[in-house]
Amino acid sequence: MTELVCVGAISGAYGVRGEVRLKSFTAEAEAIVDYAPLQTEDGAFAFDVTLTRPIKNGLAVRLSGIATKEQADALKGVRLFVPRDRLPSLPDDEYYYADLVGLEVRDTGGTVLGRVKSVQNHGSTDLLEIHGPGLNSTVLLPFTHAAVPTVDIASGRIIADPPEGLF
């Protein structure tokens, strides 16, 4: 089976005519419609997507087969996926978040620091959430060229030069 990548999540109904509020995880929010059909993680449902308008904190969209507010409300919290091979290839220094999660993180001396648990962005820069043995809690490592000089997806490894005292 092809690996699936989460590209959005349904926040609930929007209005009374079956539209849903969709939070897009694509670089440009409106681009999510280009990847349709979007499917649920288990593959039980696939939806064609029609953008009706941008709204605060997301998009108002119509999903094929959803015609009522009750049907739209029932989808609240559902995450939508596409097969990995449907996503465009990226330049050498850009990565999909899904490709970074699970990679081993080592410092420049070769010491294992942990693994990437998630990638977060709270505004200014991406942050790698690292967890592993010897850490009391997860550590947020800035995902910059200075702090992360090497990302090797093929070998499943990130080489980090973390700021002093972070680990």
Q: What is the pLDDT of residues 37-49, one digit of tens each?
A: 999 999 899 999 9
- Does this model's pTM top 0.85? no
Q: Which two tokens stand for residue 47?
A: 């939806």
Closest CA to 77 of 12, 7, 17: 12
The tokens 């709204």 sit on which residue? 55
The CATH classification of domain 4-86, taken from the options 3.40.50.300, 2.60.120.10, 2.40.30.60, 2.40.50.140: 2.40.30.60
Q: Which two tokens stand for residue 19?
A: 């539209």
Buried b / exposed e along 40-59 (16+ C-beta atoms within 10 A)? beeeebbbebebeeeeeebb
CATH no. for 97-160? 2.30.30.240
CA 79 to CA 71: how far, in whole Å?
A: 15
Q: What is the pLDDT of residues 80-112, one digit of tens each?
A: 999 988 888 888 888 888 889 999 999 999 999
CA 155 to CA 32: how far, in whole Å?
A: 30
Q: Which two tokens stand for residue 116?
A: 């990437």
Mean pLDDT of 154-165: 92
Q: Which two tokens stand for residue 131?
A: 């967890």
Domain boundaries, the chain: 4-86, 97-160
**Chain-wide mean pLDDT for the chain?**
92
